[in-house]
Chains A and B, each alone.
Chain A
């Protein structure tokens, strides 16, 4: 294996004991730094370890990540867990296996090749030994040698059929989410704050309110720090009463300068911009005979997790302990240390599962809130849970985007030039990446840290707003530009897939627009411009599943569309065929999805992720837009921020093309972009109306029908 193939996680944490520790009872403790956010990653990692160690998966204990015991694997995001953590654990497990085999062979004076391994026991002749007996301190201190990993030679995942063990615990009500933790001496806390980043607190109103909150039975302490009001109480019930009184007091004034929904693209383009060239190429090509131009986009979106942001914190003489469902416990630790002026080593963040997060929601901010308030709790642990309205009103938004495409084809209809231009705020204000803390509360104390402007991740790790802005098709002249918007009236950050949803919508809609104008089949037209066999294979598989091109007459208002993307241009391949039915509003009836995730470790889990991503993307595409106003986010519950429900959800078929000899690729985000674009293409097929700006609601369908009919 080459150096480049050693995952970054392992390069940073090369020692075997940083990943795997045999316990005397025959179990293996695995300590990855990636966290469960509903995707079931610890199960997949467990299967990888068990397969390499040839051990019953039940004997692999997955230790919940903590900054004290786990390697720093940064943020669990970007569909990278199986690529980074999985690859590191596979190499570590292969090393542990072969080093133990060698140790056992030496002890007996037999060739290593004569040692057999089954059920976690090494055997030669009448002698046998397990991992914990063979793995001494020196062996575990060694740096993981990638040479121990054997080629798979086409072998699929040996344990792939095994289901997730946490599912039974969740189904029987045994599982404990972070919301359920109730350590001895627990106090309940709540933090109240303005809805805008730029706000003032009305001091007179506060002076009137303070005694009214302090007087509530069960309220122990009321804390004021800058714009923040904190309440510590013996019970949730007392906090609920405090919340009612705070809500009536209208403590904060401020205003957010946000555009009207129909002016989003114009607003993005009129802000200060940081413009960069993502990719440029000018190979010789015939002149363009025909030019196509269109602009696509989306509104600001909300993560809208079903669970609430929650954290526990406790101050002890040795430092600060925090329990969090953050995606990046080390990043959170770093910014908590910055915010409270502590050395990082005196802050411990332990992961406890929350509900699915789909990106940077309120998880990190609520951890700051709990820690900030726990300073007044006299060493007792404090639990802090945002309300639904606080979560929807204060968590970062998924950035709005505008993407312009200008494509030219030659006389034969072949693509000769493609220009894609992206306008969007940066897609990241995650903690742990700057000189000052990127935690909402730290921006609102009496001594506030500055608000950090949203940035984009490096293109090498997929970029942010420019994710998938480079189209996958062969085109000799290419220009891809990214304009990062340097204004942030309301906070934005990473939402599942980052820029991929709109960039793929743009490229895949444009391919359909061109194919339609040229009278070509959208599948055939794509294949003419795609050399990558894996890309072609998923498109052909999705088309086969849907019976593309073989279906006869369809009912009025029913249409089909297809779309393809390779996530981040380096990750999983995914093609989607959508069938929609449009009456007053568009409904997706069916999705056929083909994905190539390299070696699939846990096929059912991968299918679940691919389907879930597609259903979430369908919800964004058809329904979702944050309702924003000068007072902040107005869509603060499920009535004002509707998502797809059971009767709206399409039937979904997922086919995985398993490639055991290729590295595993994350499944969670690959279907987002292709689903959005396949829906747009299906609506056009159904009605002859090209929808370019999401969400494709009944109102926007009607508006576009009138506009395009003119």
Chain B
């Protein structure tokens, strides 16, 4: 039976009805209408659904709604906007760091978590941090360049 869950979503106090055990990804996409969190596997393997839970990058497809109760979730929609872009968003545009862009939301959230923890990571640290985010188009080097640009700033 569905129950009510309260958490902070992109800075706003939020209450949703969800099934116990329901993955956060579905709640974000279908209940909250925040579509930037992409589901690529539903198995915790590809990283497309990466969001921030407090300051940690987590995969929304394997994070249950119970696990976020009382905590703060940030999705790509809450990372920055056209008026106030996150530096990573600006850098991804400058570097044209995508092809299809399906993995991009997860890449941005994973990189944002890295920079919160370590504002000036080197190239190897960036690649390691993104290791579990998969890209099939082959834009890895562009993504690394974009993150490095922010890390060096």
**Measuring CB to CB, which residues of chain A are less than 8 angstroms from any residue of chain B?**
37-40, 163-164, 166-168, 170-173, 175-177, 179-180, 182, 235-237, 304-308, 353-356, 358, 387-388, 604-605, 608-609, 611-616, 637-639, 643-647, 649, 651-652
Contact = CB atoms under 8 A, between A and B. Distances in A.
Contacts of B135: 306
B136 A356 contact: yes
Nearest to B91: A171
Nearest to B81: A172
Contacts of A353: 100
Contacts of B36: 173
Contacts of A164: 96
B130 to A, nearest CB: 5
B85 interface: yes
B140 A615 contact: yes
Nearest to B19: A237
Contacts of A387: 42
A37 B30 CA distance: 24
Interface in B88-103: 89, 92-93, 96-103
Contact of B127 (A170, A173, A611, A647): A647
A171 B93 contact: yes
9 contacts: A167-B96, A167-B98, A179-B39, A306-B135, A355-B103, A616-B137, A639-B45, A645-B134, A646-B131
B134 A306 contact: yes
B43 A615 contact: no
A605 B97 CA distance: 10
Contacts of B34: 173
A167 B128 contact: no
A173 B105 contact: yes
A37 B100 contact: yes
Contact of B80 (A172, A236, A604): A172
B104 interface: yes
Nearest to B77: A173
Given A308-B40, A355-B102, 4 more contacts: A172-B85, A355-B40, A608-B96, A638-B134
Interface in B53-86: 75-77, 79-82, 85
A388 B96 CA distance: 27
Interface residues of B, number: 59
A305 B136 contact: yes
Contact of A170 (B19, B39, B77, B104): B104
A646 B35 contact: no
A237 B22 contact: yes
B30 to A, nearest CB: 6
Interface string B95-130: 011111111110010000000000000001011101
B92 A171 contact: yes
B54 to A, nearest CB: 20
A686 B108 CA distance: 37
Contacts of B136: 304-306, 355-356, 358, 616, 643
A264 to B, nearest CB: 24
Given A173-B75, A176-B35, A237-B19, A167 B85 contact: no
Contacts of B138: 611-616, 649
B6 interface: no
- Most A CB within 10 A of own CB, among B34, B81, B139: B139
Contacts of A616: 136-138
Contacts of A305: 102, 136
B141 interface: yes
Contacts of B26: 236-237
Contacts of A638: 41, 43, 45-46, 134
A262 B19 CA distance: 48
B48 interface: yes
A582 B145 CA distance: 26
Contacts of A388: 40-43, 45-46
Say whether chain A's binding surface is mostly helix, strand, loop, or mixed: loop
B133 to A, nearest CB: 7
Contacts of A647: 124, 127-128, 131
B100 A637 contact: no
B144 interface: yes
A381 B47 CA distance: 29
B142 interface: yes
B48 A306 contact: yes
Nearest to A163: B96
A305 B45 CA distance: 13
B99 A308 contact: no
Contacts of B144: 646
B137 A612 contact: yes
Nearest to B75: A173
Contacts of A163: 93, 96
Contacts of A646: 126-128, 130-131, 133, 140, 143-144
B30 A236 contact: yes
Given A179-B39, A180-B35, A358-B136, A168 B30 contact: no
Contacts of B22: 237
B96 A637 contact: no
A605 B142 CA distance: 12
Given A355-B136, A358-B136, A637 B39 contact: no
A489 to B, nearest CB: 26
- Most A CB within 10 A of own CB, among B35, B42, B99, B139: B99
A40 B99 contact: yes
Contacts of B96: 163-164, 167, 604-605, 608
A177 B37 CA distance: 11
Contacts of A358: 136
Contacts of A649: 127, 138, 140-141
A643 B98 contact: no
Contacts of A175: 101
A84 B14 CA distance: 50
A644 B29 CA distance: 28
A646 B146 CA distance: 14
A38 B89 CA distance: 19
Contacts of B127: 646-647, 649
Contacts of A177: 35, 38, 102
A304 B103 CA distance: 13
A704 B55 CA distance: 48
Contacts of A166: 101
Contacts of A356: 99-100, 102, 136-137
Given A170-B104, A647-B127, A38 B38 contact: no
Nearest to B106: A306
A172 B92 CA distance: 10
Contacts of B42: 387-388
Given A171-B92, A180-B35, A38 B137 contact: yes
A38 B101 contact: yes
Nearest to A652: B141
B80 to A, nearest CB: 7
A612 B135 CA distance: 10
A619 B121 CA distance: 26
Contact of B82 (A37, A39, A172, A608): A172
Given A235-B30, A647-B128, A608 B101 contact: no
A524 B94 CA distance: 39
